[in-house]
Structure 1
Amino acid sequence: MSDHENASEMVQAEALNPTSADGGQQTLTLDGRVYPMEALPADAVVVLNDLIRCENELNEHRFRLRQLASAQQSMTVTLTQLITAAGLEPIATVDGAQVDAAQSEDEAA
């Protein structure tokens, strides 16, 4: 993982978790430094909100990808069961090592 990715992850993890200091003041931790939230300039608040939205969307997409991967695995199992139930036999393997007798005879002729 590159330094940029590490820094990005740290910023996201820290920036997206504003905390309350002892006096009830919300703070933002960024690059190991703590800032009071009310002191942030307006444009920094906009960027922080955008960062939070991006993180939320990224998490939603990660969740959707996990759903799709699970569905794909389930469909693969179902397809395998349907092929087996139909009594189909493979005519070859991906590397071509296993070929059924009928196909071998056709190739020899």
Structure 2
Amino acid sequence: MSDFDQDQQESNGSEEQGTTANQQTLTFDGRVYPMQALPPEAINLLNDLIRSENELNEHRFRMRQLAAAQQSLTAALGQIIQNAGIEPIAEGEGEGEGFKPWIPNQEDNSASEEVEAA
């Protein structure tokens, strides 16, 4: 083999590696697929999947914001009542039980995980 042939093969090999490195791929179920080989309906489904994941993350963030706002409003209401010097006329159903805002915790996360799995 001449030096020219060897140089040509080496440059062809590096070009193939370069196109593989620049090629967009999809990893699905542990397998890697070239994006340009996917049928249009698969690309559409992938785009929908990405959009739904983004929306789900936005909703999670918004729920955390609302829970924090609810805690803040509840604390402010308690402070206003305390500053006004108003005495309760009766206790709630249980000692110290009254309005309780929804606060996400581990038990509530299991319900959201069940929804995500569906």
**Does the alignment reach a TM-score above 0.5?**
yes
**Number of residue pairs matched?**
77
Where does the alignment leave 5 or more consecutive residues of structure 2 unmatched?
Answer: 1-18, 97-118
User: Which residue of the partner structure matches residue 5 of structure 2?
Assistant: none
Structure (1 or 2) with the greater helix fraction = 2
Cross-structure match for 1:80: 78
Q: 1:22, CA displacement in angstroms?
A: 5.2
Other-structure match for 1:46: 44
Provide TM-score, normalisation by structure 1. 0.64
1:94: Cα distance to partner? Answer: 2.9
Matched, 1:23 2:13: no
SS in 1 for 2:78: helix
Structure 2 partner of 1:34: 32
User: Which stretches of structure 1, 4 residues or more, deviate above 2 A after TM superposition?
Assistant: none
Cα separation, 2, equivalents of 1:58 and 1:93: 37
The AA in structure 1 aligned to 2:56 is: L
- Structure 1 unmatched ranges of 5 or more: 1-20, 98-109
**RMSD (Å) for aligned C-alpha atoms:** 1.9
Shift of residue 96, structure 1, vs aligned partner: 6.0
Whichever of the two has the greater Rg, that structure is: 2
Aligned to 1:67, which of 62, 65, 88? Answer: 65
Identity of aligned residues (%): 62
Give the match's secondary structure for 1:79.
Answer: helix
CA–CA distance in structure 2, aligned partners of residues 72 and 41 of structure 1: 47
Q: SS at the partner of 2:94?
A: coil
